[in-house]
Amino acid sequence: MGDRLIAEVEQHPNPDEIDHVRITMDAGIGRAIQISINTLSKWNRVAGFDPRVRVGIVRGVWEFLPPRGVSGLGWFDYLDIETVENVFYEHQSRLALDGFLIDRCRRARMLEVWGTPYLNRRPGIHQIHSRRASCAVAEDIVGRDGALKFYFDLERATELVLFKFCGQP
């Protein structure tokens, strides 16, 4: 959970290699955390499948903001959300998804993230999408999905953003 969000599209001399938006946030742990979100599936593109990401949004409202910080979570599965919410997934081009994420970071007061931690030059979180088998990736991981939840001041709105690739249920 963090604030002071800075979003930027990954840079690469070959535009075909760009497939991430990186969000830097202050989670209150003394160092910034980098969130890495896939905005295109290179695996699917190389295998001849649709490389676009499908995006589902669950809207809500918040009464109290959760505290900043980092904690572990044993289970997070899109099916649990889809069982109680009517989630409609829409294909997004990489450019549209880049713009969507940058816009949400500009407007959001806080961001909650589910994903897999990593340590590169700084601590980060990646695998922010469904982990179920896809058209190009056979590994089927249940209960370890990743997502973003934006908290906005305007109308105390929230948006839980879910990401799926080609072939994921």
Strands (E), the chain: 3-9, 20-26, 32-38, 53-61, 89-92, 108-114, 116-119, 123-126, 147-152, 157-164
Beta bridge partners of 111: 2, 150
Residue-wise pLDDT tens digits, 45-61: 999 999 999 999 999 99
Mean pLDDT of 82-94: 97
Q: Structure tokens of 60? A: 């809500």
State the pLDDT confidence band at 140, using cuts at 50, 70 and 90.
very high
User: What are 4's two structure tokens?
Assistant: 């002071």
Question: Which structure tokens are listed for 110?
Answer: 């806080």
**What is the predicted pLDDT for the residue at 120?**
79
At residue 26 the predicted structure's pLDDT band, cuts being 50, 70 and 90, is very high
What integer best gives the mean pLDDT of the chain?
95
Q: Three-state DSSP class for 98? A: helix
Give the rounded percent of residues in the chain with a pLDDT score beyond 90. Answer: 86
DSSP bridge partners of 7 = 23
Alpha carbons 5 and 61: distance in angstroms, whole number? 20
Laid out side by side, the sheet with 147-152 consists of 89-92, 53-61, 157-164, 147-152, 108-114
**Chain Cα centroid distance, residue 127:** 8
Residue 131, classed as helix, strand or coil, is: coil
